[in-house]
Chain A
Amino acid sequence: MMSWFIQHGRALRNALTRLSRSPVGSLLAILVIGATLCLPVGLYHAINEAGTLGRSVLHEPHITIFMAQDADLITVRSTWDSLQAQRGVQSVRYISSEEALAEMKAAPGLAEALSVLDKNPLPHTFVVTAKSADPNQLEALRQEFSGWAKVERVQLDSEWAHRLAALLVFGQHLVMGVALVMGLALWAVIVNTVRLQILSARDELEVSHLMGATRTTIRRPFLYFGFLQGLLGAAAALGLATLGIHLLNGLLTDLTPLFGLDFHLQPFALKELLLCEAITGILGWIAAYVSVTAYLPRSR
């Protein structure tokens, strides 16, 4: 057992020596892998984050009911009672036209514009929180409320979130496609660098073969080499993507308030970091295995 650990330790040291023997070449290869993986990793993270935003909106499905201008307080009271009796409704918040006007006047720049109006143009409004976020049930409620007396317009507030969710599903498929292509590129880079390592170590491999090294023993350092390249490439990709997130957050700080949102991309979670490292490391190991199998000299 000790011998097994010693053999693997030597293989790992051999792989590290190969990496450090040509630092510029190794760094360039790692940067190529990092740049290749940066796009799918960054896109995947951004889409996940946007999905979190969409889901948080969908978790509180709101329907806004705008009453007609000429709706009197008796009709408004009757609508309130009907809403309270509705099975699909979780809660109702009433905003009178006066409250709405007061809120608007508090907004900078609007007070002056509203002061020139001779009467309050805002309707009485109900903000309904539905029990279910199911799009079909929300649509059924919207249609029912639309048919009530003196209801001017019913707005499904989470509609945009559903559109976003549909877009995100499309985006996820797109990222999968990009990841597949970039994974192939990563594969090709590692296969080629391992091939070059085999060519440069031809004398050593030949002597080792003559001295009784099995193919497993000869192959092992190259597998560690591919694995390490994958790990370091993933680290470079995550570093570049983190830099991208930082820069993007600077832009989002100015952009998202315009849409009434407070949205920032979070840094990578530990689970995401480990998953990315593991997938890329394993991919590097497999690519190295393929390369070694193809390019190691065979005994006659």
Chain B
Amino acid sequence: MIRLDAVVKRYPDGHEALSGVSLDIEAGEMVFVTGHSGAGKSTLLKLMAGIERPSSGAVLLNGQNLRQLSNTALARLRQNIGLVFQDHRLLFDRNVWQNVALPLTLAGSYGDDMKRRVGAALEKVGLSDKALANPVTLSGGEQQRVCIARAIVNRPRLVLADEPTGGLDPHYARIILDIFRSFHQAGVTLVIASHDEVALSHYATRILHLEDGRLGGDSETNSAEFAT
């Protein structure tokens, strides 16, 4: 599903965030990306989402080389990718329902179909009763669940999550990870950047380790909890 071939990402200030990274992720995998702060995890996810373009090398998503796509084509591609951010990126001038509906609005959905999809997404993350609340009144864990509902409302086949449990207490982190696991079981491909030890030890089946922009390790695991 995702292939990176000798990808280099160099920013205008000369900093090289990724240096010759090559990897393959199959459809339906749940992959964790680890590494210390500044190792290039977020950059890797941004390249996979087509938010940024590689300086050299190729990022292929379902066989499409993202480097060769126009900005408009990349934007349309992102409409089919679920993105989850550590800082949630919610809009506080609108309620939970409107935040979750945003990707559908941008894709031109309307009417009953939109209501049904937003309702299903909120139910999936257990926030149906908070639909009319302003996100600012929610806890960090609830805000993250709103962010996840927004990411899945378009029913994407790929979800990219950047530190989704960062800053959350273990209880909320576990809820979030359980939600991701249910997506994985439903066949969704997940790439999660995280250095959450609990997540890695209990939920990861494959871990990519980044060190200073290079792929330092790629290992399969047998998570006991995941197997249950």
Contact = CB atoms under 8 A, between A and B. Distances in A.
Interface in B96-147: 102-103, 105-108, 110
A158 B74 CA distance: 70
Residue of B83, B110, B150 with most chain A CB atoms under a 10 A cut-off? B110
B71 interface: yes
A211 B79 contact: yes
A204 B51 CA distance: 16
A2 B107 CA distance: 13
A213 B93 CA distance: 19
Interface in A17-51: none
Interface in A204-249: 204, 206-217
Nearest to B105: A10
A210 B110 contact: no
Given A6-B108, A203-B91, A214 B103 contact: no
Interface size class of A (residues with CB under 8 A): 20 to 34
Interface string B73-87: 011111111010000
Interface size class on chain B is: 20 to 34
Contact of A300 (B53, B79, B107): B53
A208 B89 contact: no
B71 A215 contact: yes
A216 B78 CA distance: 15
Given A7-B108, A10-B105, A215-B72, A210 B77 contact: no
A212 B107 CA distance: 8
Given A3-B108, A211-B106, A211-B150, 17 more contacts: A4-B108, A203-B89, A204-B93, A210-B78, A211-B78, A211-B103, A212-B78, A212-B80, A212-B81, A213-B75, A213-B106, A214-B76, A216-B72, A217-B106, A299-B52, A299-B53, A299-B71
